Amino acid sequence: MYIDIKELSHKYSTADEDLLVLSDLSFSVGKEQFVSIVGPSGCGKSTLTKLIAGLSVPLKGKILISGSPVDSPRESIGMAFQNPVLLEWRTALDNICLPLEIVSPQMTRIQKIARATELLEMVGLKDFSQSRPSQLSGGMKQRVSLCRSLVHRPEILILDEPFGALDAFTREGLWKTLKDLKTSENFTCILITHDLREAIYLSDEIVILTDRPGKVKKSVKINFKRNSNSIDELYSKEATKMLAFLRKQIELSHTRL
């Protein structure tokens, strides 16, 4: 498969104890698939994103991307977090250009702006390209953050609860935007989320993790047919059943309250 995670274990060492956060975690993601990872809080989901991004080295096991092991950060990855972490001193447009300055220094400013503008248009923020982050709403900031994570055409997009801090309606708007981006930009996506409806709406597959130390409890393919990109699809019989099933799985893994 495109991304293979094999028997991954990781721990954090503090002064007085070692905290095992991931234990024997294995799963695979196919190219251009959209996989959501859900699980109780503290089960090592964010740790997993850092390991895939090559920001930390796992204690045991390995991560392969196209067959080659991940041992350091790579340009073919884009990341976005719950906190949009936009640079306050840059306009929305210049924020989006930031990764290009690192990854493609040979690009001219005009090329960078053209690429950033293309993305801004896709997320519906064309008129806000010159706004500073302090002038944007929470949802707009997150849209800019998404654009930034995609501007350098990464092959893999890692999203760590990107919509967690948004209100329900804004969030649904962003789900649609992300789906549109996925269609036009063609990337493999790994989404960490606590929102099961979000996972059902967006993914091809949902990986459920157990409580800490996290390992794969169950992997579920979303194979019922979705006719449109409408949020209404979430209220179909299959989707409702899926939601109830997923919820049960998460509840069962709650041992620590």
Q: Does 50 bind another protein (CB under 8 A)?
A: yes
Contact pattern from residue 153 through residue 192 relative to another protein, giving x for each residue in contact according to CB under 8 A and a dash for the rest: -----x----------------------------------
Consecutive H or E run containing 81: strand 77-81
CB of 142 to another protein, least distance (A): 13
CB of 177 to another protein, least distance (A): 20
CA 165 to CA 152: how far, in whole Å?
25
Contact pattern from residue 121 through residue 150 relative to another protein, giving x for each residue in contact according to CB under 8 A and a dash for the rest: -----------x-x-------------x--
CA 2 to CA 32: how far, in whole Å?
9
Q: Does 117 bind another protein (CB under 8 A)?
A: no
- HSE (CB half, 13 Å, CA atoms) of 6? 13
Q: Which residue is associated with the tokens 């920001």?
A: 55
Query: 171 near 198, Cβ under 8 Å?
Result: yes
Q: Does 114 bind another protein (CB under 8 A)?
A: no
Quick one: 135 or 229, whose CB is closer to another protein? Answer: 135
CA 113 to CA 115: how far, in whole Å?
5
Q: Which of these ranges, 30-38, 67-75, 209-217, 223-231, lies near another protein under the rule CB under 8 A?
A: 67-75
* Count of residues that bind another protein according to CB under 8 A: 27
CA 185 to CA 197: how far, in whole Å?
23
CA 217 to CA 144: how far, in whole Å?
34
**Within positions 71 to 110, which residues make up the interface with another protein, using CB under 8 A?**
72-75, 77-79, 81, 83, 85, 87-89, 98-99, 101-103
Quick one: 88 or 251, whose CB is closer to another protein? Answer: 88
Phi, psi (5° rounding) for residue 245? -65, -45
CB of 88 to another protein, least distance (A): 6
CB of 23 to another protein, least distance (A): 24
Cβ-Cβ contacts under 8 Å for 56 (sequence gap 6 or more): 10, 47, 50
Q: Does 57 bind another protein (CB under 8 A)?
A: no
Q: Which of these ranges, 66-74, 122-130, 167-175, 181-189, lies near another protein under the rule CB under 8 A?
A: 66-74
CA 230 to CA 212: how far, in whole Å?
35
Query: 45 near 209, Cβ under 8 Å?
Result: yes
What value does the CA radius of gyration of the chain take, rounded to a whole number of Å? 18
Pairing of strands 188-192, 156-160: parallel
CB of 1 to another protein, least distance (A): 22
Which parts of this chain interact with another protein (CB under 8 A)? Answer: 50, 53-55, 72-75, 77-79, 81, 83, 85, 87-89, 98-99, 101-103, 132, 134, 148, 152, 158
